[in-house]
Structure formats: structure tokens, C-alpha cells
Amino acid sequence: MVIAACAFQLWISPTNPPGFFRDEAALAVNAYTIGHNGVDEYGARFPLYFSSFLDYKSPIFVYALAPVFLVTGPSRGVARGLGAVSMLAGLALLGWLGYRRSGRPWVGVAVFVVGATTPWLFELGRMALEVTMLPLFLCLVLVAVERTSRLDRWGWRTALPVALGLGGVTYVYAGGRLLAPLLAASLLILVNRARWRWVVTALVAFAVTQVPLLVYRELHPGALSRRWDATTFITPDMSPFEVAWRTVVNYLQDLQLWHYVHSGDVKPYAHTPGTSALLAAWVALSVAGVVIALVRRRADPFWRYALVALAVSPIPAALTGDRYHAIRLTPFAVMLVVFTIPSIEALRVNVVFAVVVGFAALVQFAVFVHDWTINGPLRTARFEADIPALLHRAWANGGTVYVDYDDHEPLTLARWYALTEGISQTRVVRLPDGGIPPQGAIAFGRTQTCDYVCKRLDESGSGDYWIARAEGPKLP
């Protein structure tokens, strides 16, 4: 079962997802330039965060991929392979957590299989995005808390792994900058006379991990709030009551588990339309596990912390304008798997019921794999799969691609495909502000129209990207 689950998680298809999404390309380009030249795409030397599309990417995935590219060279499969391995590592920690909580190896195996066959986590692991490492760091926090909960004395040394794991959550994904403080504050649920020093140590050590983030914010005002400004529903004219009410409504809406059973995120880059995000059998185990933890194990420090962590995990997503967002709700999906542990333990007393649950999960899982295999490769527009054809036409006969100074997405995509095709980066030219390509040269764009006379030659299937021939400056 473990070998089959690992093989499934490491299934990297060249056509599913198709193409290479622009955020994936941005992370991969920066990983290549950091590994080979020590600078990011725009020349900043070993930055803490990576400027990208008027936004900033988190650092851990990029710095993890950089040495891999030094060995393998730039490759879409390798970049997505790191995402798959990262997700698999997080799932392995979930299995370990199940084993340590129960003391039974079969429980650990079952929890690992539950996580590995959860469509939500599987689909995220098919992409080269920072969020694929979030389950790993979240599970490191949970494992560290679980280990401490079994000790007779909570020494300060055992608080440091918890703080480091929370620090990793901060720097692995943009939503982690809010989630990590929430998880840190959740440690207060553990305070009593014997543990308060441990909790204080963990919080102080976590605060130390935030120093680089605070320094970066001071040096780059507004940089790390751009993603927040672009995604939040909160506007300056909203009252605190209105913000709180809207957040609660969003939170409760994102908790509608049945929606994930029959559907999921509507955005096709995070989830294949028409497929399940969660298996009904696993959701039933999660709900039962929450009930068991509340009724029978609320005195257990680990389960007390896990219950609070489950409760706060959807909050960052609730502050945004999108519902059922698979990427932003990744911590919630992980915590649902965690709460299958007590219910899986309880299944040992009823083998028939365990077989029924397993068979139901197997049937829905088979349907998901079939639908994902058929519908997944059809997401060509969302994954910008036709960009290589546009660029190959532009590079034909030794041509050079010219990109407007402010058109960041086509610039990054052109740089990435030049790397993978072995084309010199000198054949991807970022024009100076207000610059015009030579007459007859090929321009590549997305958000910017030509500031000069040009003739449109071709465009992507979605109509977002285009190539055009420059025909000279506009007449006054």
C-alpha cells in the first residue's frame, strides 16, 4: 500500500497539467538564476523574497530548487518533481504522526494512504508552486508538538523545533505569513503551571524567526502587502463590523465539506473541473475524528492544539475574495487528514465497517483518477500550454523576442522557455521604458499593447498572449 501510494504521488505526467503556469515559470527561472549566478530574475543578489509580476514569491521553494537545477538543468518535469517530493514528504510525516499517536504501525500506514489518495493534495503536488512545501512545514510543527506532549517534562529544547517549523510556515508561502502567527498563538491553549515556560520559549523563538521578515518589510515598504491587496475583500471604506461579518460568512462557506466531495475549487489550475477534491469516506473519518477528539481526548495536549489549529487553518483564506480556493485552504486539507487518526484507530473494533469505508473510498478514488486523466490535459488555456508555439515562431530563423518593459508575465515565460530550449538569453530582450523594437522584429506581450505600429501575427487560445511584428514608431 505504501509503495503504491508513493508511486501515485510521484506520477509526473508531461501532459497533465499541460504547459507551465506563469507562477511555476517564475519560480523556476529564479531558481535557475540563483543557482547559477546568485541573483534573481531581475538581478537582486540572494534576495529574501523574489520580485515577480508586481508581486513577491516566497523563498524556500526557489532555494530548494536551485541546487537541483545545477545538477539536472532547467526542466518542467524536475520543477514539478520537487513539488511532488515535497508533498510526499509532508504525507510521510502525517503517517509518522498517526503511528506516534496510536503506537500502531498499521494506523500510520492507513493515515499515509488517506493523505496520498486525497485528490486535493495530489493535484497540488502536480505543480511547481511554493504551496507544495506548506504541508511539510505544517506537519513538522504538529510532529514537534506531538513529541513534546508525550514527555513528562516540557523542556525548553523541545520548544525550538516547534518554533522553527512555524518559521518555515512563514517563509514557504504568502498565506503562511498570517497562518504562522495564528498557529503560534494557538500554543496558548497548552499553557498551565508546568508548561508556561515551554510556551513562552516557543513564542519567543518564533518571534526571532520573524526578524528577517520585519527587516525586509522596512527595506521594501509595501512589497509583502501586494499579494494581500490583490486578493483581500477588505476595502478602506468597510467598517470593522462589516469586515468581521464578511470574514465569518466566508469562513463558514469554506467549511462546506460536501462541496469538496462533489466538486472543489473552480479555478482549473488548482483543481480539475468535474472531479472530487475530497473523498466522502475520508471526510466521514475526519468528522468522526473531530468528534472523538472533542469528547474523549480533549484533555490530551496534542489534540487540544490540533483542534485549535484546525479551527484557525481556514482564516487566511476567509480574508480573501475567493471561496473554496484549493491553494489558500491547503492547511485545512492537511488538518482534515490529521483528524482521521482517532477514527482510524476506532475502526479496529469493527472490521466490516472498515472494509465498507475502504471500498467506498476506492470507488470514488478510481472515478477521480479517471476524470483527472481525461479532463486534466484539457486545461491548456489556464496553464498557458500554447506559449511555446508562439515563441518558436518568434525565434524561428534565429529571431529575437522583444518584450515591453512593464509586461512581466511574457518576459518570464520567454526567459523560461529560452532556458529549456537552449536558446541564449540574449534573444529575449526587455525593452527600456518606452522602447521600440527594431522594425521587422517580433514582439511578445500580454497586458501591454504595442506603443508603436505593429501587426498582430498570432495569439494564444485564451487570447491573453500575442506575438506581433514591429513596423516602426507611431506617427505623431
Task: Classify strands 428-430 and 401-403 as parallel, antiparallel or unpaired.
Answer: parallel
Q: Are 311 and 254 in contact (CB under 8 A)?
A: no
Q: Which residues contact 33 (CB under 8 A, 6 or more apart)?
A: 39, 40, 41
Read off the C-alpha cell for 89: 514528504
The whole-number pLDDT of residue 476 equals 65
The arithmetic mean of pLDDT across residues 357-362, rounded, is 93
The whole-number pLDDT of residue 473 equals 83
Residue 152: which pLDDT band, with cuts at 50, 70 and 90?
confident
The arithmetic mean of pLDDT across residues 170-195, rounded, is 95
The arithmetic mean of pLDDT across residues 196-214, rounded, is 96
Question: How many Cβ atoms from other residues are within 10 Å of residue 17's Cβ?
Answer: 24
The whole-number pLDDT of residue 463 equals 78
Q: Are 222 and 240 in contact (CB under 8 A)?
A: no
H helical segments located in 210-350:
211-219, 226-231, 240-254, 257-262, 280-296, 301-312, 315-318, 330-338, 340-346
Read off the C-alpha cell for 59: 523563498
Measured distance CA(395)–CA(418) in Å, rounded? 9
Orientation of helix 176-186 relative to helix 196-209, angle to 10°: 170
The whole-number pLDDT of residue 108 equals 96
Distances (CA, A) of 6 to 89, 251, 327: 10, 33, 22
Q: What's the pLDDT tens digit per position in 273-313?
A: 889 999 999 999 999 999 999 998 888 999 999 999 999 99
The whole-number pLDDT of residue 475 equals 64
Q: Which residues contact 124 (CB under 8 A, 6 or more apart)?
A: 83, 87, 131, 132, 270, 326, 327, 330
Measured distance CA(330)–CA(138) in Å, rounded? 10
Who wins on pLDDT, 374 or 266?
374
Orientation of helix 2-9 relative to helix 105-116, angle to 10°: 30
Counting beta carbons within 10 angstroms of the beta carbon of residue 284, is it exposed (0 to 12), middle (13 to 18) or buried (19 or more)?
Answer: middle
Measured distance CA(189)–CA(77) in Å, rounded? 43
**How many Å separate Cα 421 from the centre of its chain?**
27
Question: Phi first, then psi: what are they for 416, rounded to 5°?
Answer: -65, -50
Q: What's the pLDDT tens digit per position in 416-451?
A: 999 999 999 999 999 998 889 999 999 999 977 888
Residue 382: which pLDDT band, with cuts at 50, 70 and 90?
confident
Read off the C-alpha cell for 148: 513534546
Read off the C-alpha cell for 417: 522557455
Structural domain boundaries of the chain?
Answer: 2-378, 387-472
Who wins on pLDDT, 307 or 471?
307
**pLDDT for residue 54 is more than 80:** no
Measured distance CA(106)–CA(139) in Å, rounded? 19
Q: What's the pLDDT tens digit per position in 114-144?
A: 999 999 999 999 999 999 999 999 999 999 9
Instruction: Produce one character per residue of 290-308: b if its CB has 16 or more CB atoms within 10 Å, e if not.
Output: bebbeeebeebbbbbbbbb
Percent of residues, the chain, with pLDDT higher than 90: 80
Measured distance CA(86)–CA(83) in Å, rounded? 5
Q: Which residues contact 221 (CB under 8 A, 6 or more apart)?
A: none
Q: What's the pLDDT tens digit per position in 73-102?
A: 999 999 999 999 999 999 999 999 999 999
The arithmetic mean of pLDDT across residues 41-67, rounded, is 93
Q: Are 46 and 59 in contact (CB under 8 A)?
A: no
